[in-house]
Chain A
Amino acid sequence: MIQGSDLNFRADQPALDVEGLTVTYGKEPALWNADLRLDRGSLAAVVGPNGAGKSTLLKAALGVVPRVSGRVRVLGEDPARRRRLVAYVPQRTSVDWDFPTSVLDVVLMGTYGQLGWFRRPGRKERALALHSLEQMEMADLAGRQIAELSGGQQQRVFLARALVQDAEVYFMDEPFAGVDAVTEQSIASLMGHLAHRGKTILSVHHDLATVPRYFEHAVLLNRAVQAVGTIKEVFHRGNLDRLYGGRVPAGVPDLAPS
C-alpha cells in the first residue's frame, strides 16, 4: 500500500502547500479556492465554524477526498506519494467504537502502511505500538477492548496510532474533543514536542480560548482560507468576528490589536 511512496524530501520544502483548492461533495463546495502554506515545524490550528470545511481540508491534504480543482503538495509532492510521511488522527466520532478489536490492535493499524500488502504485524510492530501507547500513558490498557474506553482514552488511542506512524506531518481532527483537562495538557505537550522536533502539525481546534496557548500558527477557514499566519498576526478579534459572522463570545484573548 506504499507503492510510489517517497521518503526523501528537501528540508526547505513547505510541509503543506495548497493552491486554489476546491472540494465539493454535492452541489455546494465544501472548500472554495483555498490557499495555504505551512512551513516545516509549524504547529497550526485550523479554526472555523461548523461546516466550514476543516475536516475536508485535512482530508484533501491527505488525498482522501477527490479535489475538483487546485493543487496540494505535501513536502513538495502529491499526497499520494507522501503516505509514509503523513499521519492522520480522524475525528474521534467518525468510527464505530463498538468494533470488535483491542487497543493494541488499533494502534497497530498505524504500522500497516509500512508493512505493505499481505504482511502481518509482528514482534517489532507490537513493540512500536506499545511504545506509542506508553507515550500516551495508555500502556496498561493495551489489551482492553475499544468498546470499553472513555472518550479521552479513545482519543489517546488515535494519537498513539498516529505516533506509531512516525510521520513528518500530522493532520489531527479535533484531538481535544471531549477530553479532560489532564488529557488536554498531555496532548498539547505531545504536539509541542513533535513540533519541537521539526514535525509539522495541522490540527482542527474548536476552543478559541486555548488556541494561543497550544498553537503557534492559525488557519482561519470558512469555505475559503481567510487568513494564515502566526497567532500574533492573524488570531485577533477582528478576524475572528469576521470568521464567525460577529458572534464570537467574550473570553477569547485579544492577543493583537485589530
Chain B
Amino acid sequence: MSAPWVDLDPTLVVVAAGTTTVGAVSGALGCFAYLRRQGLVGDVVSHSALLGVVGAFVLVHAITGSASRSLFILVPGALVAGTAALMLARSVSIRTRLNDDASLGVMLSIFFGGGLFLLRWVQRQSPPIAGHTGLEDYIFGMAAAMTRADLWMIFALGGGALVVLFLMWKELKVFTFDPDFARSQGLPSRLLDTLLMGLLVAGVVIGIQTVGVILMIALLVTPAAAARQWTSSLSTMALLAAAFGAVAGAGGALLSASAASLPTGPVVVLLATTIFLLSLLLAPRRGVIARARARRVLRDVPPRAAGGAS
C-alpha cells in the first residue's frame, strides 16, 4: 500500500504548491487592500499586467530572438506595467478634474486594451513567433503551465512580501487604520503607501499565471472579505484569509487536474467565492444567520406592559 501522495504527478505537485502559495499570499495581502478600499487599485494592476506580460515577451523575443514564457521574464514586465498604470492614474487625478476612481478606470481600460491589442498582434505574426501560444492563458489563467522555475519565482516574491508584511506589521496596521495619527507619530506615509502598493503589485503579478488578469482581483479581495466575517483582529484576519486563499488555490489545482476541462483560475476563484458565501451565512456575530437569530430573540421578548401609544 502506498500513500496517495507518492503517486502524485510531479507536475501537479509543482502546480499545487504554486497555486497554494499564490492563494495564501494574496489572501494575506488582500486584507490591506480590502481595509483600505483599494480593490480597484488591485484590479488596475492585474489588468495592466497583461500588457506587461505580452510586452516583455515581445521585447525579449526582439532582442534575443528566443521566445520564453518564463516568469522570470514576464513578472518583471507585469511589475513595470502595473506600477506604471498606478503612477499614471495618480498623476492624471492630480492634474485633471477626474477623481481617483475615474482615472484608475481609464488606466485599466488603456492598459488592458493595449495588452489585448498587442496579444492579437503577436498571434497574427507571420511567420508565427514560436512559443507565443500560452500567452493568451494569462487572461483567464493556466496553472498547468507552471514550471519549477516559476514556482521558485512565486516563493521568492510571495515569501518576500509576507516577510515585509510581518516586519512592518504594526506600522502598516496603524497607517491603515488612522493615517493622520500615524503621520503625527512620524511614520512616513508616502513610504508606507508606496510599500503597500508594492506589496499589492507583487501579490498580483505572482497570481496572474494561475488565476489570470481578469479574475485576480477576486483572489485578493474574496478571502479577506470572508475572513473579516469571522474575526475582529487584524492578525487573525490575515491568517484566516491566507488559509482561505491557500485552500482555494490547492483545491483549484487538484480539481482542475482531475477533470481535464476545468480551467484552474475560475475554479480557484469559485472556491474562494464559496468560502466567502459560507462565511457570510455562517459566521458567528456577523453572519446572516446569526444576525437573523439575534433579531428573532429580540422580537420574542414580551412587550412591556405599558407599551405606549401605537
Interface residue ranges, A against B (CB under 8 Å): 1-3, 5, 59, 62-64, 80, 83, 86, 88, 90, 94-96, 99-102, 105-106, 109, 112-113, 115, 117-118, 120-121, 145, 147, 161, 171
Q: How far is the CA of A106 from the CA of B228 in the complex (A)?
A: 18
- A64 vs B228: C-alpha distance when bound (angstroms): 30
CB–CB A94/B234 < 8 A: no
8 A/B residue pairs, CB under 8 Å, sorted by A: A1-B171, A62-B184, A64-B183, A99-B35, A99-B177, A100-B233, A101-B177, A112-B171
Q: Report Cα–Cα, A92/B167, bound state, in Å.
A: 29
Is B174 close to A, CB under 8 A? yes
Cα of A55 to Cα of B236 in the assembled complex, Å = 34
How many Å lie between the Cα of A3 and that of B185 in the bound state?
11
Q: Are B233 and A86 in contact (CB under 8 A)?
A: no
Complex CA–CA separation, A121 to B174 (angstroms)? 13
Contact of B186 among A80, A96, A105, A120 (CB under 8 A): A80
Known: A1-B186, A112-B170. A100 touches B228 (CB 8 A): yes
Q: Which residues of B contact A118 (CB under 8 A)?
A: 167-168
A59 touches B233 (CB 8 A): no
What's the minimum C-beta distance from B197 to chain A, rounded to whole angstroms? Answer: 19
| Number of residue pairs A-B, CB distance < 8 angstroms | 76
Interface residues of B in 171-202 (CB under 8 A from A): 171, 173-174, 176-178, 180-181, 183-187
* Residues of B with C-beta under 8 A to A88: 180-181, 184
Q: How many residues on chain B are close to A (CB under 8 Å)?
A: 25
8 Å CB contact of A90 from B181, B233, B236: B181
- The one of B169, B181, B231, B232 in contact with A109, judged by C-beta atoms closer than 8 angstroms, is B181
Pick from B181, B184, B232: contact of A101, CB below 8 A. Answer: B232
- Tell me if B29 counts as interface (CB < 8 A to partner A): no
Within the complex, the shortest CB–CB distance from A150 to chain B, in Å, comes to 16
Mark contacts of B226-265 with chain A using CB atoms, 8 A cut-off: 1 yes-contact digit, 0 otherwise. 0010011110110000000000000000000000000000
Q: Which chain A residues lie closer than 8 Å to B176 at the CB level?
A: 99
A2→B185 CA distance, assembly (Å):
8
CA distance A64 to B177 in the complex (A): 16
Are B170 and A120 interface neighbours, CB within 8 A? yes
Report which of B169, B170, B186 forms a contact with A2, defined as CB distance below 8 A.
Answer: B186
Which residues of the partner chain B approach A145 to less than 8 Å between Cβ atoms? 232
CB-CB < 8 A to B178: which residues of A?
90, 94-95, 109
Q: A64-B180, A109-B181, A113-B186 are in contact. List 19 more A-B contacts (CB 8 A).
A: A1-B185, A1-B186, A2-B185, A2-B186, A3-B186, A83-B184, A90-B178, A90-B180, A95-B177, A96-B177, A99-B177, A100-B233, A100-B234, A101-B173, A101-B177, A109-B174, A109-B177, A115-B170, A161-B181
Nearest CB in chain B to that of A80: its residue: B186
Q: Please give, as numbers and ranges, the residues of chain A lying within 8 Å of B181 by CB-CB distance.
A: 88, 90, 109, 161
* Cα separation A118 to B169 with both chains bound (whole Å): 8
Please give, as numbers and ranges, the residues of chain B lying within 8 Å of A106 by CB-CB distance: 177
Minimum CB–CB distance for B228 against chain A, Å: 6
Chain A hits for B231, CB < 8 A: 100
Report the bound CA distance from A95 to B37 in whole Å.
Answer: 13
- Report the Cα distance A59→B179, complex, angstroms: 12
- A51 CA to B217 CA, complexed, in Å: 38
Contacts of B168 in A (CB 8 A): 118
Cα-based distance from A145 to B233 in the complex (angstroms): 8
Task: Determine how close the nearest CB of chain A comes to the CB of B263; give it in whole angstroms.
Answer: 33
Is the beta-carbon distance between B183 and A101 smaller than 8 angstroms? Answer: no
Return A76 CB to nearest CB of chain B, in Å: 18
Decide if B185 touches A113 in the complex (CB within 8 Å).
yes
Q: How far is the CB of A166 from chain B (nearest CB, A)?
A: 13
Q: What is the bound-complex CA distance between A16 and B37, given in angstroms? A: 36
Q: Which residues of A contact B228 (CB under 8 A)?
A: 100
Chain A residues lying within 8 Å of B183, measured Cβ to Cβ, are 62-64
Residue among B180, B185, B232, B236 facing the most chain A CB atoms (10 A cut-off): B185
| Closest A residue to B234 using CB positions | A100
